[in-house]
Amino acid sequence: MSALAALVASGAVSEHVPLGPYTTYKAGGPARFMTEVQDVAALMGLVEAGVATDLPILVLGRGSNLVVADAGFRGLVIRLGSEFARVEVEGTRVRAGGAAPLAHVARSSVDGGLAGLEFFVGVPGSVGGAVRQNAGCFGTETRDRLITASIIDLTDGLSREAGPDDLDMSYRHSNVGSTQIVVDALFQATPGDGHSGRAELRRITRWRRDNQPGGTFNAGSVFKNPPGATAGEIIDSLGLKGLAVGDVSVSPKHANFFVAGPGATSDDIRRLVHEVKDRVLEKTGTMLEPEIQFVGFENDH
Ligand SMILES: Cc1cc2nc3c(=O)[nH]c(=O)nc-3n(C[C@H](O)[C@H](O)[C@H](O)COP(=O)(O)OP(=O)(O)OC[C@H]3O[C@@H](n4cnc5c(N)ncnc54)[C@H](O)[C@@H]3O)c2cc1C
């Protein structure tokens, strides 16, 4: 029996798991294999089983930046379990597990009398996803607050402590690879006071509610902003709000958000992304680059 088959037989790895429910788009097909790990020892078990050399790997956070193909993902999806979701305030620093929701990091830091991590409250991802994507908003990026991230390479089990420069973090980019998993991160905050911190959390939450299509299935900004412009303004200027493919449309509230209805397929999302990208290129000469990630598609986009 192969090491993977043994993991399946033991129940540690499941087969044919629908991925839509694990993403904010709520669309897409199943994972061929999926596992949730509760500790580093379990991750090492996967390394010893050689999964990352035998199969494509998808490290799944909160699925808020992903479009999974309708045909699914033919490799192994790895999620960090609740043991990796802890958040602890250590003086003016905040340590958070790779699976910790960013909103929890924001609220815990404010509750701990700190300032500087409030921007995380509006980003519905995990700490691992934020490091990988260098998530940011309101002028602050993850790299501005990250001291170090603990990363395990699933191909050889080696772990490294890496700061923003080691990770080459820039606008929605890092060098965290697809077989590397962020298990923990340490952030720098500054002394704050709970009152203004809570006011800031409310301000950000209200701004999001007023300016973005909350309560819908979406994955945040579809395209990165090109230098000196915003993708939303460019798409809006071409009158593309409301443009639809199947049950997916450009949000009337924010043109860089594409919202999916209950009947949407991932192929609809992909086709709308291509349609908008092509029209923007044709009319403005600007080549928009997707910020959302396509998983399981041929060529992955
Ligand atoms: C309503 C809405 C608003 C949003 N607003 C913002 C915003 O203001 N700014 C912004 O930057 N983004 C925004 N996003 C996008 C998204 O929340 C961020 O990109 C977030 O960082 C993704 O985290 P995740 O855990 O959901 O990652 P996923 O979507 O699960 O995965 C994204 C990538 O990160 C990798 N990954 C996930 N976890 C780990 C890990 N532990 N270790 C290594 N790699 C990992 C995945 O393999 C994948 O490559 C928004 C999304 C939504 C739905």
Tell whether the model's pLDDT for residue 34 goes beyond 80.
yes
pLDDT at 142: 98
CATH number of the domain at 182, please.
3.30.465.10
In angstroms, the CA 60 to CA 77 distance is 6
Q: Give the three-state DSSP class for 156.
A: coil
Which amino acid residue places its CA nearest to atom 2 of ligand 1?
A: 220
- The answer to whether residues 47 and 7 touch, using CB atoms and an 8 Å cutoff, is no
Q: How far apart are the first and last CA of the chain?
A: 35
CATH number of the domain at 228, please.
3.90.78.10
- Report CA-CA distances (Å) from 145 to 2, 8, 105, 129, 197: 43, 39, 12, 15, 16
Domain span at 223: 214-300
pLDDT at 54: 85
Read off the pTM: 0.97
Which atom of ligand 1 is closest in space to residue 182's alpha carbon?
42
CATH number of the domain at 46, please.
3.30.43.10
Mean model confidence pLDDT for the chain: 96
pLDDT at 82: 95
What ranges make up the beta strands (E) of 86-154? Answer: 87-90, 93-97, 114-115, 136-137, 140-141, 146-153
221 is an active site residue: yes
Q: Mutation test of ligand 1: which of 34, 123, 209, 230 has the most ligand atoms closer than 8 Å to its C-beta?
A: 123
Q: Of 82, 116, 132, which marks where a domain is finished?
A: 82
Same domain, 27 and 89: no
Q: What is the rounded average pLDDT of the residues 118-133?
A: 97
Token pair of 26 as six digits: 């709520």
- Token look-up 């997707």 returns 290
Closest CA to 259 of 239, 238, 273, 275: 273
Same domain, 185 and 127: yes
Same domain, 203 and 97: yes
pLDDT at 300: 55
Q: Choosing from 221, 249, 251, 266, which is the catalytic residue?
A: 221
Same domain, 50 and 103: no
Q: What percent of the chain has pLDDT over 90?
A: 95
Closest CA to 124 of 115, 133, 113, 114: 133
Q: What count of residues does the chain have?
A: 301
Q: Give the three-state DSSP class for 189.
A: coil
Number of domains in the chain: 3
The pLDDT tens digits for 230-272 are 999 999 999 999 999 999 999 999 999 999 999 999 999 999 9
The pLDDT tens digits for 86-109 are 999 999 999 999 999 999 999 999
- The answer to whether residues 131 and 182 touch, using CB atoms and an 8 Å cutoff, is yes
- The answer to whether residues 78 and 58 touch, using CB atoms and an 8 Å cutoff, is yes
The pLDDT tens digits for 142-199 are 999 999 999 999 999 999 999 999 999 999 999 999 999 999 999 999 999 999 999 9
Confidence of residue 299 (pLDDT cuts 50, 70, 90): low
Same domain, 206 and 125: yes
Q: Of 178, 210, 242, which marks where a domain is finished?
A: 210
More confident residue, 4 or 189: 189
Q: Mutation test of ligand 1: which of 22, 57, 64, 171 has the most ligand atoms closer than 8 Å to its C-beta?
A: 64
Q: What is the rounded average pLDDT of the residues 204-223?
A: 94
Same domain, 108 and 150: yes
Tell whether the model's pLDDT for residue 218 goes beyond 80.
yes
36 is an active site residue: no
Q: Of 19, 48, 82, which marks where a domain is finished?
A: 82
Which amino acid residue places its CA nearest to atom 11 of ligand 1?
A: 135
291 is an active site residue: yes
Tell whether the model's pLDDT for residue 202 goes beyond 90.
yes
Token pair of 285 as six digits: 């000469």
Same domain, 9 and 89: no
Q: What is the rounded average pLDDT of the residues 194-208?
A: 96
Same domain, 22 and 48: yes
Same domain, 69 and 125: no
Same domain, 131 and 175: yes
pLDDT at 214: 84
- Report CA-CA distances (Å) from 244 to 68, 82, 248: 19, 38, 5
Number of H helices, E strands in the chain: 9, 18
